[in-house]
Amino acid sequence: MNNINENKKKVVLAYSGGLDTTVIIHWLKQNYDYEVIAVCVDVGQGKELDGLEERALSSGASKLYIENVVEDFVDEYVIETVKSGAIYEGKYLLGTSMARPIISKKLVEIALKEGAEAICHGATGKGNDQVRFELSIKALAPQLKIIAPWRIWDISSREDALDYCAKYNLEVPMKKDNSYSRDRNLWHISHEGLDLELPENEPNYDSLLQMSVTPEKAPDEPTYIEMEFNKGTPVKLNDVSMSCTSILTKLNKIGGKNGIGVIDIVENRIVGMKSRGVYETPGGTILYYAHRELEYLCLDKQTLSYKDTVSVKFAELVYSGEWFTPLREALSAFVNSTQETVTGKVKLKLYKGNITPAGAESPYSLYNESIASFTTGELYNHKDAEGFINLFGLPLKVRAMMLNNNKTN
């Protein structure tokens, strides 16, 4: 640990070890009379955490916390979102968005423990994360100051940041020709910047992808899997009981191998602009798909329909950093009530980027063969349909009669 002045005020930095936060430690030391405490919240970044402590201390931090919250992230944030069915703008499975609340919560906990005056983050002034971090911090500890260097300093691009590192001999694990802005956790990895900033460019997937392969490189034979859920929560994969974290980890490998879950999206950011990125969510895509297939079997028409409406709003709240809000909590309460009967097994076929249903079963299934079969059963009388159609179509018939009457007049 570096020598520190015990009388100095403290700032907690959300630290990743990447380009921005490496620069920020040095910048904070130069521009503020703070002791910088780096905090890396582990939500499944994997090898990105290797060598992090040495890098943080050599950059000027007094200490580094590495807080493993992977299990809580999956159980309390990922699964809650999966059960809601939330997908932002029909494509984005909210990988970065879901992680920001728990990261913010841990930053606040350590700031209070250390007696820090402020929390600093490396989100840019054009991005979504500044909103997500700051809304969460305000909701949890409104007394803490927030420092956002990208809204203050003269650095205006990743190239400027790399030049800053070169000027002060700060080591960073990237170069100018490979400085995609990436965010990784157990759920996904995102890629933004460089050639992706031009929507007309096709992504160079062979060099870009890190969790997945392209469909062309996926196996020529399909992969079958079976998942079991209990009240909307996955509990088994291929008949083996395991934690949600273990299930997601295995699904990432299976899905990535089969080219599942790669999307290219132009999305509407919170701050008003459109941005383009490529996201890899192999295991999450399978999990969403399996959960939805079971809901088709177990939820009645009205509940399924209204839940779709809730899903859109839930996605907007998560995307916009409004996790710690009364509305999100209320929507989660509704969602969880719908999941009481979402229990059963789902089989899926994975093949070259595609997911195909291969059967589902549940003790709470609302599918009744006696009713649905083309063979007449005791529970359904074909003659009943005539009266139903007459009543259901009555408004149409009355309107047509009115139109015809006006034509003749």
267 annotated to bind ligand: yes
Helical ranges in 174-222 per DSSP H = 205-208
Q: Report the C-alpha gap between 322 and 329 in whole angstroms.
A: 10
- DSSP, collapsed to helix, strand or coil, labels residue 355 as strand
281 annotated to bind ligand: no
21 annotated to bind ligand: yes
The single residue of 72, 75, 181, 264 carrying the catalytic annotation is 181
Q: Report the C-alpha gap between 359 and 371 in whole angstroms.
A: 19
17 annotated to bind ligand: yes
Q: Is 75 a catalytic residue?
A: no
Within a 10 A sphere around the Cβ of 2, how many other Cβ atoms? 11
14 annotated to bind ligand: yes
Cβ(328)–Cβ(317) below 8 Å: yes
DSSP strands (E only) in 238-298: 240-241, 262-268, 274-280
Kindly list the distances between the CA atom of residue 348 and the CA atoms of 58, 232, 250, 288, 351, in Å, as whole numbers in the listed order.
Answer: 49, 17, 15, 12, 10
Cβ(136)–Cβ(163) below 8 Å: no
92 annotated to bind ligand: yes
Q: Report the C-alpha gap between 123 and 20 in whole angstroms.
A: 8
84 annotated to bind ligand: no
279 annotated to bind ligand: yes
The single residue of 42, 55, 59, 100 carrying the catalytic annotation is 100
Q: Is 100 a catalytic residue?
A: yes
376 annotated to bind ligand: no
Q: Is 129 a catalytic residue?
A: yes
22 annotated to bind ligand: yes
261 annotated to bind ligand: no
What radius of gyration do the chain's Cα atoms show?
26
Using alpha carbons, select from 286, 290, 292, 285 the residue that is nearest to residue 311. 292
Q: Is 177 a catalytic residue?
A: no
275 annotated to bind ligand: no
The single residue of 129, 179, 184, 332 carrying the catalytic annotation is 129
124 annotated to bind ligand: yes
18 annotated to bind ligand: yes
Token pair listed for 232: 């909307």
**Is residue 395 within a helix (H) or strand (E), and if so which, with residue range?**
helix 394-408
122 annotated to bind ligand: yes
The single residue of 20, 84, 212, 311 carrying the catalytic annotation is 20
Q: Report the C-alpha gap between 409 and 406 in whole angstroms.
A: 5
190 annotated to bind ligand: yes
Using alpha carbons, select from 142, 48, 45 the residue that is nearest to residue 99. 45
Binding residues: 14-22, 92, 97, 122, 124, 128-129, 132, 181, 190, 267, 279
Binding residues for ATP: 14-22, 122
Binding residues for L-aspartate: 124, 128-129
Binding residues for L-citrulline: 92, 97, 128, 132, 181, 190, 267, 279
Residues involved in catalysis:
20, 100, 129, 181
